[in-house]
Amino acid sequence: MLAQLHLNSLTEKVREDDVRIVLDRLPTGSDAYNQAYEDAMQRIEGQDVDGKELAKQVLYWITCAKRPLTTTELQHALAVEVGKSEFNENRKPHVEDIVSICAGLVTVDDESNIIRLVHYTTQEYFERKQMKWRGQYGQMWERKRENAPDGSF
């Protein structure tokens, strides 16, 4: 899993020197996961505004949900527009796009169709970050959760 995160950090590098610099700076030891998650978050921050916001919403939903979410449940949660009374199917993001914009931090279990974080340490990382996000996304998330048919999110 850590190796995959490190590979993801190389995907944007096109010059050999840039690849070598990244490889030389790869963290080791107990801080390796934390640094890999920070690097992934920097890649998310480097996306366009829509991609960055959607990625943060995905990560927030996955880390804060009461139970694991299926891809369909997450798509619907992301498509809900606060203040709108009708659901717009066209706002549902594609699963492939959801996974892609999250910079290697989420994965889909093919058997159960559950979308989850890639590793238990990812959950721990976001629990540490959650206080920062709670202010930014907390109200939106609570409103969307209240609108869920069975309150299961």
Q: What is the pLDDT of residues 25-67, one digit of tens each?
A: 766 666 788 888 888 999 999 999 999 999 999 999 999 899 9
- Residues 115 and 106 sit within 8 Å (Cβ to Cβ): yes
Render pLDDT for 93-137 as a digit per residue (tens, 0 to 9): 999 999 999 999 999 999 999 999 999 889 888 888 775 655 555
Place of tokens 């920062």: 132
pTM over 0.75: no
